A and B are shown apart, each in its own frame.
Chain A
Amino acid sequence: MKKLIIKFSIYLLISTLPILGYSQCKSFTKQVCMPKLDPYIYNGQLNSAILNEGDIAELVLTFYGGQDYRIAVCSEEEIGNVQFKLLDTDRNPIFDNAEQEYADYWDFKCNSTQQIIVEVTVPESDGVDSSIKNGCVSILVGFLSK
């Protein structure tokens, strides 16, 4: 009976690991990423995932003319400097944080309404370590109340 309980506990632990990982990602976002939006107002939509090195995440959103926005991209330390780019719908670059010392947030002023793509890339490590690194990445959007 004791063995059965132990095995069932292990089963429960393993089967809930994915949810725990995802949940930890949300906690990380809340504690580390959201404060970076201040004084901008968070748009209330959480975009976060656990990504492997080399993975790409994209956020499609609209910038409204005359509105000021802040994009914050946060990642756990173990996956290194995450690159984020702003692209227009033809995928022309508007901004690249790699040119700004991998800043984890940036403000945008848009004088007319347009669709924007935020492309986030997790760098591939070139170390000798054969295991694939992964970690939580979040993309948050804030706007300024007038």
Chain B
Amino acid sequence: MFLKFDNKIVAIFAISLLLSCGGNQNNANNKTTGNSPGSGFAPENTEKQISNVKTIFYNIPSPVELAELTQNANLNYNVDLLNSLDKLDQYTSTTSKAMNLGIYGADLSYTRLYDQVQESINYLAAIRKLSESLGVPQDGGAETISRLEENINNKDSLLLIITNIYTNADLYLKENERAGTAALIITGGWIEALHIATNMLDEENPNPEIMERIAEQKYSVDNIIKLLNSNFKSKESLKEILGFFEELKVAFSKVELVLDKGDVQTDAENKVTSINSKTQIYVNFDQIKEIKTINDKLRQFIIS
């Protein structure tokens, strides 16, 4: 009887180990079957047999970074570009909560740049609510809001608060094996930042700097597709979203980015390397309009 029971335990151990070692979502291009990075396990080897594993991560620009990139364009604040906070209660699925958390984050970065204090407070409250409903513990609670109110004229404090919220969400979700949800948040932020940038443009007199910044997002589209594919084994739930991204990829393929490599200078004393390359960007307004149309449809799909 005891032996029988032990066998069951061993079987459960074996199944559980197999399951737990197979869950890494960022692991790609395995050269050989080794332990799974992130699993916390090294195989027990009697002889040292190293089987190297390659892990690939993809990063895409955060809404804060994208907002920084367009801040020099001297364009007017337009509240109509933002996702209405009235829709907050409509977001009930994990996917819509995560993506709209990213969207509101990009909106908050935008309101911050234009010193829209009350709007910033409102978006911050919505972000906290969505974040909480995704199960991410909130540090500070009302304290964060009051800290923001105390520092209403301090853009840097708000930047710090925004960064902290997203850092905590990303850390918490990845700690809890929910890297897919973290990927959806950053993707939502990127979509909204692109929406704001493409809708900022004046059709009669498009700002060439903004057009170039939009064109440069060609790289991000590829990275987002790879990020989503590496984090979702079942693509069914993301079928429509990935479909839009494939359309965006086609639209961005018409934009040409030609890199002329230059010299690289390293200043060892100050720990800085300067990369002096030059990228020629070939983009026209029709191409931007096509990108805008697809991205606006994608955004509409997510926010409605």
Contact = CB atoms under 8 A, between A and B. Distances in A.
A55 B55 contact: yes
Contacts of A146: 68, 71
A19 B26 contact: no
Interface in B159-186: 159, 163, 166-167, 170-171, 174-175, 177, 182, 186
A125 B283 CA distance: 50
Contacts of B46: 130
A14 B16 contact: yes
B40 A59 contact: no
Given A14-B13, A62-B223, A21 B57 contact: no
B56 interface: yes
B50 interface: yes
Contacts of B9: 7, 11
B24, B34, B271 — most chain A CB neighbours (10 Å):
B271
A23 B175 contact: yes
Contacts of A115: 219
Contacts of B220: 62
A132 B34 CA distance: 11
Given A26-B175, A109-B273, A54 B58 contact: no
A24 B174 contact: no
Given A67-B69, A109-B272, A145 B159 contact: yes
B65 A61 contact: no
Main secondary structure of the interface of B (DSSP, over half): mixed
A111 B16 CA distance: 50
A63 B275 contact: yes
Contacts of A20: 40
B266 interface: yes
A43 B61 contact: yes
Contact of B42 (A25, A59, A109, A132): A132
A39 B12 CA distance: 48
A86 B219 CA distance: 17
B164 to A, nearest CB: 9
Contacts of A130: 45-48
Main secondary structure of the interface of A (DSSP, over half): mixed
A79 B249 CA distance: 40
A24 B39 CA distance: 11
A105 B271 CA distance: 8
Nearest to B56: A58
A81 interface: no
Nearest to A95: B273
Q: Which 7 A-B pairs have the closest CB atoms?
A: A21-B40, A49-B37, A47-B57, A112-B279, A15-B16, A61-B59, A44-B166
16 contacts: A7-B9, A21-B40, A34-B167, A41-B64, A44-B166, A45-B60, A47-B26, A50-B38, A50-B39, A51-B37, A52-B50, A55-B37, A56-B54, A58-B57, A67-B65, A143-B68
Interface of A: 7, 11, 14-15, 17-26, 29-30, 34, 41-65, 67, 86, 88, 92, 94-95, 100, 103, 105-115, 124, 130-134, 139, 141, 143, 145-146
Interface of B: 5, 9, 12-13, 16-17, 20-21, 23-24, 26, 34-43, 45-48, 50-62, 64-65, 68-69, 71, 156, 159, 163, 166-167, 170-171, 174-175, 177, 182, 186, 213, 216, 219-220, 223, 226, 257, 259, 261, 264, 266, 268, 270-279
Given A50-B37, A52-B50, A145-B159, 19 more contacts: A15-B16, A15-B17, A41-B65, A47-B59, A49-B24, A50-B40, A52-B51, A55-B34, A55-B53, A61-B223, A62-B219, A63-B275, A88-B261, A92-B261, A103-B271, A107-B272, A114-B277, A131-B42, A143-B68
